[in-house]
Amino acid sequence: MDKTTARVLIETTGSLLNATLLKEYQDARWEMSVQRQALFIKYASKKPELILYTPITKQLRELPKKMLESLLCFNSQSEKTGGVFVSMTQPQGALLLMIHVSLSDLDANSLRKIAIHLLNKNIVWQGMIKKLPDSSTSNVMRSPLEATIRV
């Protein structure tokens, strides 16, 4: 099944990344108005979270929470994620699913691995790191992270 894509430019505002949708697409499969998805990286204490916001579709709504969590389980020899959990939010009337992945360590390699893993599991995003935060940036990413979001 073909999937439309939206390019998202993610920039920092304080310690939370803010996503700006550059183009909007309508997903004909759901016969809905434009669906928006955005990826945020939130820096909380020493354990950053990778947070995926995705519209609640009928397909996602029917998945049990435990199944969603198991889809997101990710382990490797060198790095592991912990504290995967799923929640929902409803900003501006749009029901969104928030998938949280707590990262033990934020670096390019672990983010790429997680991106590939989620993509392989047919979750909805793929991304590429341009620059990572270091100690001098106080855990705030200074350059944009560009990602292709599958809708």
What is the chain's pLDDT, residue by residue, as a tens digit (151 residues)?
223 322 222 222 222 222 332 222 222 222 222 223 333 333 333 344 444 444 445 555 555 555 555 544 443 333 343 444 444 444 444 444 444 444 444 444 555 555 555 545 444 333 322 223 333 333 333 333 333 333 2
Q: Which pTM value belongs to this model?
A: 0.28
Q: Where are the chain's structural domains?
A: 5-150
Cα–Cα distance, 142 to 13 (Å, whole number) = 9
Cα–Cα distance, 38 to 32 (Å, whole number) = 18
With beta carbons less than 8 A apart as the criterion, state whether 10 and 17 touch. yes
With beta carbons less than 8 A apart as the criterion, state whether 21 and 4 touch. no
